[in-house]
Amino acid sequence: MISNNAFCKLLLSFAEVTEEPHFEKRSFRIKKKIIATLDEVHHTACVKLTSNDQSVFCLIDETVIWAVPNKWGLQGWTNINLKKIKKDLLQDVVTTAYCTVAPKALAQQYQQ
């Protein structure tokens, strides 16, 4: 299980990420573009991935990671159950989301 605070700390560890409110959730942004949101009540997060990355991560366990079930999901928005996800997998998903949204120069420092 990943705590809400641990999730926030992880997102804010990436270069130039800021936290801002987004309706009833917390959002994490790079250059005003949302990388992820956190729903503290339901202990879930939502991240922006490419369609290809989304399909790969969702194959791991759809009770842990699944596409948002609407047109947002078709755009790569992906839900994460923070009660079930393992730390290493979360690190991979969040890094991938950051590299998807961040400018190329910033993303390069996190790409393998």
Question: Mapping DSSP to helix (H, G, I), strand (E, B) and coil, where does residue 40 land?
Answer: coil
Q: How many helices (H) and strands (E) does the chain have?
A: 5, 6
pTM of the model: 0.95
Averages of pLDDT over runs of 10 residues in the chain (112 residues) are 97 98 95 97 98 97 97 97 98 98 95 76
Looking at residue 41, its pLDDT comes to: 96
Distance between CA atoms of 31 and 48, rounded to whole angstroms? 14
CATH architecture of the domain formed by 4-107? Alpha-Beta Complex (3.90)
Looking at residue 111, its pLDDT comes to: 84
Looking at residue 40, its pLDDT comes to: 97
Domain range list for the chain: 4-107
Looking at residue 31, its pLDDT comes to: 94
